[in-house]
Amino acid sequence: MLAIVLIPREARRGEIIPIRIAIQHPMETGFRPDNFGRRIPKNVINSLVCRYNGVEIFRAEMGSGIAANPQLQFYTVAQKSGDIIFEWVDDAGQAGGERAALTVSG
């Protein structure tokens, strides 16, 4: 699964920074038929976790009410340099992940 994590590359310690993620995923509702009239089974990214230096800072439990190619933005306080890591799994059991590095000064 293709995904992009957008964060400022650098931040001052204590600064509140935005964290954005966009994941390429159909977020299939389960209500849609395919070209042969068969129902496409529901398949959405049902849970997503974001960790900052190993500590969970954000979690999302999602349903079919989240638009296709889900986008999320939230905030965190920059503490020290490290990785922002996202991990998620969909109804089909397929897992994905993406990361971004943050440099904190001061």
Partner 1 sequence: MPTRRRFLATLTAIAGAPFAARAVPAQADGRDFLIRQVTGGGALVREGRVKVDTPELADNGHSVPLRVIVDSPMTATDYVRSVTLLAERNPRPIVATFSLGPWAGRAEIFTRIRLADTQEVLALAQLSDGSYWSGTAKVIVTELACLDGS
Residues that bind partner 1 (CB under 8 A): 16, 29, 31-33, 52, 55, 57-68, 70-77, 79
| Partners of 39 in the β-ladder | 33
Residues 6+ apart with CB under 8 A from 45: 23, 25, 27, 62, 66, 70, 88, 89, 90, 96
Q: Which is nearer to partner 1, 59 or 99 (CB)?
A: 59
Q: How far is the CB of 19 from partner 1 (least distance, A)?
A: 9
CA torsion through residues 9, 14, 17, 23, sign: positive
Q: Which is nearer to partner 1, 77 or 92 (CB)?
A: 77
Q: How far is the CB of 101 from partner 1 (least distance, A)?
A: 18
